[in-house]
Structure 1
Amino acid sequence: MTEAPKPLPFFYQFASGAIAGVSEILVMYPLDVVKTRQQLDSTNAYKGTINCLKKIVKEEGFSRLYKGISAPILMEAPKRATKFAANDEWGKVYRNLFGVQTMSQSLAVLTGATAGATESFVVVPFELVKIKLQDKTSKFNGMGEVVKHIVKTDGLLGLYKGLESTLWRHIFWNAGYFGCIHQVRTLMPQPKNSSEKTLVDLTCGTIGGTFGTVLNTPFDVVKSRIQAGSSRYIWSFPSLLIVAREEGFGALYRGFIPKVLRLGPGGGILLVVFTTCMDFFRTLQD
């Protein structure tokens, strides 16, 4: 197994996560728009990812693929920074708590799940605004209008609508992502140079992102519907049953293709950029 890298102060973890998150969102955002549209589509208006993409461009224009990106851009820095920083910090807590020096598979899953729960409290307002803007029926022109409407209608706590479903979504994704990265790393040969290290990180991150997406997509579907404003969907597990009963089990994986295309390779991009930034900060400290 590769020797654990030198730990860095929280600020460097936060900055590396922020840079990684913004890099990923700039490349992958259109797939997120397509994913949300498919998740909110209970009438099967979109016949797959390509059909959805073509319809959006044809009926609403290419720029619609980037509608609402201001909220994710503002969200990505604190979201991804919190993800990686919380994962590192919770890892230290759990290693001390259980009296172990190195991370194990079970600790990686536990640490990832806890980091996901931590991350959720940061991202809920941004996710809510993003969903409101990405919805095809949206009449809002920008995030300012959305925030103003939510606060006026539901008060400040209205910005945390969907917190419970967001918690489940992030707990499952982060547990799968970081747990899988740990396992895959142990199976791969130790890299001999920076190019091999980048390839290992890209492979681990892509596999981890794909596995996390398989685990959390049903929770992402109900989260999108809860935050879109339907009164039929309130809590995650009852909403899962409603969707499965009325639309079939496959509906819980609606939007899976664009989601996994984004978060599989996107997970690889995240890990590569994050570890590259951390290595750079280590050289500065040295």
Structure 2
Amino acid sequence: MNVAAGAIAGVTEILVCYPLDVIKTRFQLQVSGAENAYKNLGDAFSKIIKQEGVGALYRGIVPPIMVEAPKRAIKFTANEEYTRFFKPHVQDAQVLSILTGMSAGFTESIVVVSPDLIKIRLQDKRNAGMYSGTADCVAKIWAQEGFAGFWKGVEATAYRHIFWNAGYFGCIQYVRSVLPKAETKEGKMLNNFVAGSIGGTVGTILNTPFDVVKSRVQGQIAAPYKYNWSFPAVATIAREEGFGALYKGFVPKVLRLGPGGGILLVTFDVVTTFMRKNFL
């Protein structure tokens, strides 16, 4: 049940919010002072549509769609399983939710690292015309970088998911506890949307520096590589481009993952409730 609910919730969120992910990646790969750089969200939308067409806003959507079902299913299923595992040993509910979120995030990262790398390569405007599609991108990565190439950025991916899930599930637990108790189905949906949106926003604040590093690491095609391990890469970006560069792409990212976190939680809860009533 959790597998199906997580899958439906994840695909719903990505179909609604994917163009923001493309723009987020473009900002993260953009080195400060680059020629024809995107100035803000509106400028990025305008330039991408004008220069590359509307389809560019959905470039690279196939890998995340393919992985979205197992990714979101793992997020919620792993969180519940880790909760059962840690609950006898952790008494504080808030600490428990953060710990289980971190553990679920690490598990999730193993599944998404390779599809994310393919997505980054397809989204990068420097690679325009390099790949004819997803299958061609996979074939060229295999030919040029081998099996190990698909695991590039796995460490930064793990940190990204650990911090996001810790913020997301930790906030859901807290926000639900302070909101007025919902008396109706609509009230419960609103509470879930508020809790999920706040959780998604906090998770995004926590994990964006590692997401920037992940995009930089995975966007590298030819050696020598400038970015390798996460914390040295964070230090390099901050030193060369300023601390603010670690939050490049934050606006489109939080616009996606803030409300997206709410959409995710509401959809998951609606689908699981429906399945319990009709199939169990």
Global fold match (TM > 0.5):
yes
- Cross-structure match for 1:270: 264
Paired residue type of 1:64: A
Q: Calculate the aligned-residue CA RMSD, in Å.
A: 1.1
- Cross-structure match for 2:40: 48
- One of 171, 193, 200 as aligned partner of 2:184: 193
Instruction: Find out whether 1:29 has 2:18 as its counterpart.
Output: yes
CA distance in 2, matches of 1:50, 1:105: 38
CA distance in 1, matches of 2:89, 2:145: 41
CA distance in 1, matches of 2:144, 2:82: 37
CA distance in 1, matches of 2:234, 2:32: 17
- Cross-structure match for 2:66: 74
TM-score relative to the length of structure 2: 0.95
Query: Which structure 2 residue ranges, 5 or more long, are not aligned?
Result: none
- The correspondence of residues 221-236 of structure 1 with structure 2, limited to 5 A, is 221-229=212-220, 231-236=225-230
Matched pairs, number: 272
Give deviations 1:37-84, integer Å, cap 9, x for gaps. Answer: 000000341101111111100111111001111111112111111111
- The correspondence of residues 93-242 of structure 1 with structure 2, limited to 5 A, is 93-98=85-90, 104-138=93-127, 139-229=130-220, 231-242=225-236
CA distance in 2, matches of 1:175, 1:135: 29
Spell out structure 1 runs of 4+ moving beyond 6 A: none
Paired residue type of 2:13: E
TM-score relative to the length of structure 1: 0.93
* Identity across the alignment (%): 54
Native 8 Å contact 2:32 2:241 kept in 1: no
Deviation for aligned residue 1:200 = 0.3
Paired residue type of 1:188: L
CA distance in 2, matches of 1:203, 1:39: 28
CA distance in 1, matches of 2:71, 2:167: 17
Instruction: Find out whether 1:83 has 2:78 as its counterpart.
Output: no
After TM superposition, the structure 1 stretch with the greater mean CA deviation from structure 2, 36-45 or 147-156, is 147-156
CA distance in 2, matches of 1:53, 1:250: 21
Q: What is the DSSP-based 3-state SS (H/G/I as helix, E as strand, rest coil) of the residue aligned with 1:160?
A: coil
CA distance in 2, matches of 1:198, 1:43: 41
Q: What is the DSSP-based 3-state SS (H/G/I as helix, E as strand, rest coil) of the residue aligned with 1:251?
A: helix
Deviation for aligned residue 1:110 = 0.3
Paired residue type of 1:62: V
- Cross-structure match for 1:4: none
Native 8 Å contact 2:22 2:58 kept in 1: yes
